[in-house]
Amino acid sequence: MARRSPKKRWLAGVTLGRLQLMNISTVLNNLPNFITLARMVMTPLAVMMIISQRFLPAFLIFILAGVSDAVDGFIAKRFALRTELGAYLDPLADKALLISIYVSLAIYAGLPAWISITVVSRDVMILMAVLVSWLLDKPVEIRPVWVSKLNTVAQITLAGFALGVRAYGLDQPLLQTFLQWTVAATTLASGGFYVAQWLDHMSR
């Protein structure tokens, strides 16, 4: 068998090294997206834990998902790694997690159905509005406002609280009721704002 010359071996090594650097660069550039995808994987795991009444693991998964959300956001902003894909994946992962947990808690863990229906209905309404505007060739950009940000914080707080009290066997009905009504009020307020914004956009 003919042996490759030192020059050919060197070129092969350089080529392999470049490919490895390109792969590493691709991974680093998409690190926030990989973290977001990992958070998506956590959603069915959390649901499975709730269904099996294993609330401590579900609570810990929820906390880990929240930490991962903060981490991927920090990395994307700090190192200028924001991508169009990430702009879609990040809120999608957040909504998938929250909606899944609210529905699961309502079905399997005693969370009032009306609060779950309120949360899910708002997001379905916004999605339908976006689809209609797209079908009519009048795409609308949904920009978060202060009330929607407050609503997101309230939803996360209630979901974490509901999981936490079940995980540690606590009994805080008054606080949970307060959080439920806070979520309901901010959900309706933000939903109403988005509807008004959408109607104004569609009437132009």
Cβ pair 47, 106 in contact under 8 A: no
Note whether residue 18 is domain-resident: no
The pLDDT of residue 53: 96
Task: Please name which of 108, 42, 44 lies closest in space to residue 72, comparing C-alpha atoms.
Answer: 42
Neighbour-count burial for 8-20, b at 16+ CB within 10 Å, e otherwise: eeeeeeeeeeeee
Domain contains 160: yes
Examine residue 38 and state whether it is found in any structural domain, yes or no: yes
In a domain, 139, yes or no: yes
Q: pLDDT tens digits for 64-111? A: 999 999 888 888 887 777 777 777 888 899 999 999 999 999 999 999
Give a yes or no: residue 13 inside a domain: no
Domain membership flag for residue 17: no
The tally of domains found in the chain comes to 1
Q: Is residue 146 part of a domain?
A: yes
CA 39 to chain centre: 7
**Does some domain include residue 60?**
yes
Domain of residue 173, CATH code: 1.20.120.1760
Residues 6+ apart with CB under 8 A from 49: 55, 57, 58, 61
Residue 125: give the domain boundaries: 23-202
Which positions of the chain have pLDDT values less than 50? 1-2, 10-14, 16-22
What is the residue whose two structure tokens read 């995808």?
37
pTM score of the predicted model: 0.84
pLDDT of residue 3: 55
If 0-12 CB within 10 Å is exposed, 13-18 middle and 19+ buried, where does residue 124 land? exposed
